[in-house]
Amino acid sequence: MIKAGHKFSVLSGLRKFRIRRVLYIALFWTVIDFISTILNFNTHESQSKSVLVRAILVFLMSGIMGYLFVFTLKNIFRESSLGVNFIAKSLILLVAALVMNFLVHFVESVLITGLDLSGTLKDFMANIMDGNWLLRRTMYWLVLFIVTQL
């Protein structure tokens, strides 16, 4: 029975815990990406705008990926073995990370550097073909995945 002065919560304790976990994941990934971005770029005038845009995009995309991992994919891979679960989630994370890197690159190129769509795509494809860039990004997301143990 609910008392007259008692607050009634629509969200259960478990759902609140999961939402908090998604927010922590998004915040953690954004902070790590922010530090990585600051350490890898030389300072120039448009960097502050670029870093802000990147942080917003990474937070939003990390929140979506965190939601997928905490709420959706957990139930899909519940019956599979631990190894299959880890490999499947890792592959999904890598594809999502590639999409997120493309979105961040696209928005930065169009809004900050003023490139057109074809210039942005050529620049992104050149980055992908650079094995060092692709390896660094892949290792970066795998380490984040392992650290947060989704």
What pLDDT shows up at residue 148?
67
Which pTM does this prediction carry? 0.72
One-letter identity of residue 135: L
- Residues 55 and 33 sit within 8 Å (Cβ to Cβ): yes
Report how far apart the first and last C-alpha atoms of the chain are (Å, whole number): 37
Matching residue, tokens 């478990």? 14
pLDDT given at position 59: 92
pLDDT in tens, 22-71: 898 889 888 888 887 777 765 555 577 778 888 898 899 888 888 887 77
